[in-house]
Amino acid sequence: MSDYPYAGRFPVQRRLPDQGRPREELLAELAAMAAEEDAFWETGKCSGTMYCGDHDHYAFLARAFERFAHVNALQRDLCPSATKFEGEIVAMALDLFHGGPGAVGLVTTGGTGSILHAVLAYREHAADRLGGRRPNVIKPETAHPAFDKACHLFGVELRRAPIDPVTTRVDLDWVADHIDDATVALIGSACNYGYGTVDPIAELGSLALERGVGLHVDGCLGGFILPFGEELGYGVAPFDFRVPGVTSISADTHKYGYAFKGTSTVLFADKALRDAQYFFLTDWSGGKYCSPGMEGSRSGGLLAATWASMVSLGRAGYRRYAAEIFSVAAAMQDAVRSHEELRVLGDPTFLFSFTSEAFDVYHVNDFLRDRGWRLNGQQYPNAVHMAVTRPQTQPGVAEAWAADLAGAVAYAREHAGSTPKSGAIYGGVAGGMTDEADAFIKAVMADLLDRQSGLPPEPAAP
């Protein structure tokens, strides 16, 4: 990636211009950048990221968005449409996840937002019971780092449960042994980001009921596709409010809900849990303030576009796309299993991960990157994963995967004695989990924010 993207092609804005530039000129620059960046994922060789990949669908959502882009969803008296959109998005999600009488929810800004709201709700709901003691939640190590972030921000103790290295599902005995009277919630993933596997939600639910704690199911990734995989007979076990003990669910509309980035849902089995995370300030000189979520101003356009995506597709549309994705994911997994040197981790769904005991699997990744594939790297053990989305369902992509993977395995055998070029893209550092690894990642982030997102040096004066 260039340190200063597009600096050699388009003007660099170092300050607010005295006079604005022509709109047509700006739109032409935006069109050029968008077309070039879209050309990569349009090949179908990009894991995750672009969940729909249908420009007609995006154009439809853009038309819905533009009608309400300028509207602030905070001002419901001026834009009652936001109340309609948000209420119906939540209702459709609750229907999909079998929410019972009294189940409620919120629309948030994304998966992290939904997880933050859930952890905050559990902390606040238990505050009186704990009497000032620090609450804790227990998550599988594989559950999303947003739980770690939420606990860090809200002062909640996080207990990370190990997983079974074969199934990649959480160790239930460890969870049971680490619940105490300050535990407010257990976490299960449906499915987890790393391996595409679903934790034993029914067993976690039984444990939560037995010990009197909450159970949050993180369906941010799989929430809007796994229910249709279940309907299609792909062996997806119930993970939603049908499972006794499940008290909240997060599910991203901006992933397999095929909405624009910036929306998710967090759903609660009862109002008391949702209401606990409200913020009130009734003695402010500016008036009585109450915020149902952490965000203040939000664009009504995102609510309108999300609503339009869900209503336009309907169950039949989601089921049709899920059938295509699950079918291609199965074919791509079969290609991996056809090589004795590779091992698929656990029993995955539409997302799968694989490793190798014969060589460093990042050699496979190196070869595939040269063939235009963008996979996600993992660590402990070294592995790579593919999240299958609609772009992979294009004709010929699964066949290209099988052919390129065969070449990658041959390349990895040949280079087994050397060090691969790639690694765990989300932060793996040679040497394992050490202080040096933390320092390295901080340096990477500083480089990204301070240099790559900065401006190129000004040209020298003539």
Q: Which domains are assigned to the chain?
A: 66-309 (3.40.640.10)
Query: CA–CA separation, 158 vs 36, rounded Å?
Result: 42
Element (H, E) at 146: helix 145-154
Q: 267 pairs with which residues across the strands?
A: 105, 249
pTM of the model: 0.92
Collect all residues with Cβ–Cβ distance below 8 Å to 364 and sequence separation of at least 6: 342, 356, 384, 405, 408, 409, 411, 412
Element (H, E) at 265: strand 264-268
Q: What is the pLDDT along the chain (462 residues), one digit of tens a residue?
A: 556 889 889 999 989 999 999 999 999 999 999 999 999 999 999 999 999 999 999 999 999 999 999 999 888 888 899 999 999 999 999 999 999 999 999 999 999 999 999 999 999 999 999 999 999 999 999 999 999 999 999 999 999 999 999 999 999 999 999 999 999 999 999 999 999 999 999 999 999 999 999 999 999 999 999 999 999 999 999 999 999 999 999 999 999 999 999 999 999 999 999 999 888 889 999 998 888 788 888 999 999 999 999 999 999 999 999 999 999 999 999 999 999 999 999 999 999 999 999 999 999 999 999 999 999 999 999 999 999 999 999 999 999 999 999 999 999 999 999 999 887 544 344 444 456 666 766 666 666 666 656 667 777 766
User: Which residue in 377, 374, 355 sits closest to 426, CA to CA?
Assistant: 377
